[in-house]
Structure formats: structure tokens, C-alpha cells
Amino acid sequence: MSEKIALMGGIPVRKEPLIFGTPKISEDEINEVVATLKSGWLSTGPRVFRLEEQYSEYIGAQHAVALNSCTAALTLGLEELGVVPGDEVITTPLTFAATVNVIVHAGATPVFVDIEPDTLNIDADLIESKISERTRAILPVHFAGHPCEMTKITRLAKKYDLLILNDAAHAIESEYEGKKVGCWGDITAYSFYATKNLVTGEGGMAVTDNDDWAENMHIKRLHGISKDAWNRYSSEGGKLYDIIYPGYKFNMMDIQAALGLGQLEKLDRHWEVRKKVVEDYNEAFRETPELIKPVNKGPIRNGYHLYVLRLKSEELGISREKFIEALKAENICTGVHFLAIHHHSFYQTNYPQPAGSLSHADYASERVFSLPLSANLTDQDVRDVIAAVKKVIAYYREQKL
């Protein structure tokens, strides 16, 4: 007989909830934030400029533009690539709202291409059939940290004169053929949201090799004013400014950058910790046929942002939602990445997709769930997660007999 699960009145695997996606923040980072507060310069200033310099160096790109979110980076990215109303932008349906919302805001039409059933990334082999006269750009999302097939995508972009805007919200450390994903394509957008591989609370970065785009994004992030606040108010800078474009309020603050600088320094160490957690999970679930495990495919370095499993709910006899509820009762919190975009009401109404045309995304959307994956996890946390997943599966497996 298997152990009674907490959802049915059994004893939970752990006493305290294990929160999904807690960031690892060190004392030196906290000290740097406090030093910023004491410095009197809270908004965009020297720490932001330093973060941009170090970030572009880390990625291996010419320019980095620090912003208040990845959504801002995607918005500016589409604008710089010249996406205008009437254009089409090809992307994946298995992503977060922001990836596709920004296309709609640009007045363009999102064109969905189905995902690969193994990596859950956009299927590069299916992109060509969706290219039309109106296609302007491809927006690949490097899902969970696994890079998309950038050689194929780049080849298509060249052939059809398209531009590439990477959504690398999950993929700071990710590499394809030995190069960071930010070195592929034209502009790359990153997220430093509270659960990401590098956190600044809220925050993001746009990276590019193009001098003009970088300069424009620097100007547009702060109202389209030709000189930013640092120059306006410091003793060195002039006092005059000019609005050269109706820009945005997308700038990053020094308070955020203070955190980001320390996070960047520890990025690869944190990656090592998450890699080990992924290996432990993979090993633990190797012989669990009810779960579809993540894979590494091709010449890649995975950024290991999310550990996404798919529950074969038909085999276990319970829904993904019930499974998540049972894990929660064991005090293990999980995430869902993602409910496919075309299943959400706005997109169903405005961009309906022919039934079955995105079948791999449909399958994943109903079955994905993500286990905690963070550099903050202790060995005991990882053992608890594994124990809870195995316990719930063993219980329902037995119920089916």
C-alpha cells in the first residue's frame, strides 16, 4: 500500500510550504542596495551604466540597454526592428502573455507556429510555411532556458529578409553553438523579474550589436529625451534637453542595478546549482512513465530556468490541476509554464487558430507543470520535491489498479 497523500488527510512531506521560485540574494547585494539608497542617487545612474557594461560583456554583444522589464525590451525591440501595423510576427504559442501582447500593441498580427514536442520551443522546420508577404520578424522564445534552433532560424531570416527578436526571458546563460542566444538574431530581450535567473525585483535588458538601435532604445526608455537624467542634473552635464521622440518610462533604477550587479557576478555559480537540481530531478524521475521529462537537444547550453514536466494525466487518471493541488497539500508549490496563448479568451476571440493546427502546444498546455528550480533550494528541499511527486504518483497509480 502506498502512503496516504496529504490531500486525502495524510501527513504532508514537509511542514512549511516550499515557495516556487524564491531568488537567492546575498548579504553583499543587500549592502549594495543600501549603499545606493544612502548615495542619494536612486534612479538611472552610475550603477545602471555599470550593469549595462558588464552585461553586454557577459553576453558578448556590443550594447546593453537596461530597462524596467523584459516586456519593455520586447516593446522597444519590435519598434527598432520596424514592426508596424499590418505586419506579421512569427512566434510560439507556448509562452508568457508579454511575448505576444507586445506584437498586438505594435499593431501587428501574431502568427503562431507549433512547438517541438521535446524541447517545447518553436519548431524551426515549420516556420517557413507560415512566412507571408507581410512577415517582418521572427520572435523565438528560448523556453525554460533551452535555446531554439538558431542556425535554422537565422538561415530563414536571411532567405526572406526577416529580423529576429529573441525573447530570452528564461535564457541569460543559454548558448547555441557556443554563443549566447543574445549573440544570435538582431535584438534580444531579457527579464530580471523576481523569479528569473538574475533578479532585480522587476527589470530587464535589451541587447544588440546595432549602434543606432541601442542609442534609440537608450533615448526611448526615458521619454524620448535626448539626454538622460544623469546628464541633466549632474554637475558635468548640460541642463538642456530635447524630446526627440514620444518615448516611454521604461528605465531601470540604480536601486535595481545595485542588486543586478551582484547577481550577475554570481550568475554562473547559481547556474551550476540549478544544473545539479535538474540532474537530481532527471535521475529521480527516470523511471516514472507518467511524466514526460525535459531534454537537452543539439549544440546547446541550457540556461536551466524552469524544470517543466508534462503529466500524462490520462495514464495517471487525474488532471494536471488535481496533481498540482495534491503537491500543494504536500507543501510543494509549482508553476504552470504556460497555458498556450491561443487558449486565452482575448486570443481565442481575435486570433482564432484552426483546430489541431497547434497540436503539440495544445498537448503541452494541458499537461505542463514546473517544479521549484532556484539556486536557493537546499538539498533537503530537492529531496522533499522528489518525495512529494513520487508519493502523489504512487498514490494515484494504486487508485487506478
Contacting positions for ligand PLP (CB under 6 A): 69-71, 95-96, 98-99, 141, 167, 169-170, 191, 193, 204
For ligand PLP, the closer CB: 170 or 342: 170
- Count of Cβ atoms closer than 10 Å to residue 227 Cβ: 15
CB of 73 to ligand PLP, least distance (A): 8
Cis ω before 338 (30° cut-off from 0): yes
Smallest gap, in angstroms, from Cβ of residue 93 to ligand PLP? 12
In the bound complex, what is the minimum distance in angstroms from residue 352's beta carbon to ligand PLP? 23
Taking the complex as a whole, the smallest distance from the CB of residue 257 to ligand PLP amounts, in Å, to: 15
Taking Cα atoms as reference points, which of 307, 280, 275 lies closest to residue 293? 307
Q: SS3 helix, strand, coil % of the chain, rounded to 5?
A: 45, 15, 40
Q: Torsions phi, psi of 266, nearest 5?
A: -100, 5
- Nearer to ligand PLP by Cβ, of 166 and 384: the residue is 166
The CB-of-42 to ligand PLP minimum distance in angstroms stands at: 20
Look-up of cell digits 516593446: 75
Evaluate whether 216 touches 75 at the Cβ level (below 8 Å): no
Closest distance to ligand PLP from the beta carbon of 97 (Å): 8
Order across the sheet with 300-301: list the strands.
179-180, 175-176, 300-301
Residue 101 or 313: the one with the smaller Cβ distance to ligand PLP is 101
Minimum distance from residue 192 beta carbon to ligand PLP (Å)? 7
| Torsion, Cα of 388, 393, 394, 397 (10° steps) | 160
Question: Minimum Å distance from CB 199 to ligand PLP?
Answer: 10
Neighbours of 109 (CB within 10 A): 18
| Shorter beta-carbon distance to ligand PLP: residue 310 or 391 | 310
98 vs 162, beta carbon nearer ligand PLP: 98
- Asked if residue 111 lies in contact with residue 133, where contact means CB atoms within 8 angstroms, the answer is no
Whichever of 169 and 258 has its CB closer to ligand PLP, that residue is 169
User: Of 256, 258, 307, which is closest to residue 285 (Cα–Cα)?
Assistant: 307
CA atoms of 379 and 376, how far apart (whole Å): 10
Distance, in Å, from the CA atom of 60 to the CA atom of 188, rounded to the nearest integer, reads 12
Q: Is the Cβ of residue 72 or residue 131 nearer to ligand PLP in the bound state?
A: 72
Q: For the purposes of burial, counting CB atoms within 10 Å of the CB of 287, is it exposed (0-12), middle (13-18) or buried (19 or more)? A: exposed
Residues serving a catalytic function are 196
Residue pair 258/44 in contact by the 8 Å Cβ criterion: no
Closest CA to 177 of 299, 21, 358: 299
Rounded CA separation 8/84 (Å): 54
Q: Which of 292, 272, 336, 298 is nearest to 147 (CA)?
A: 298
| Closer to ligand PLP by Cβ: residue 123 or 330 | 123
Degrees, nearest 5: CA angle 158-164-169: 150
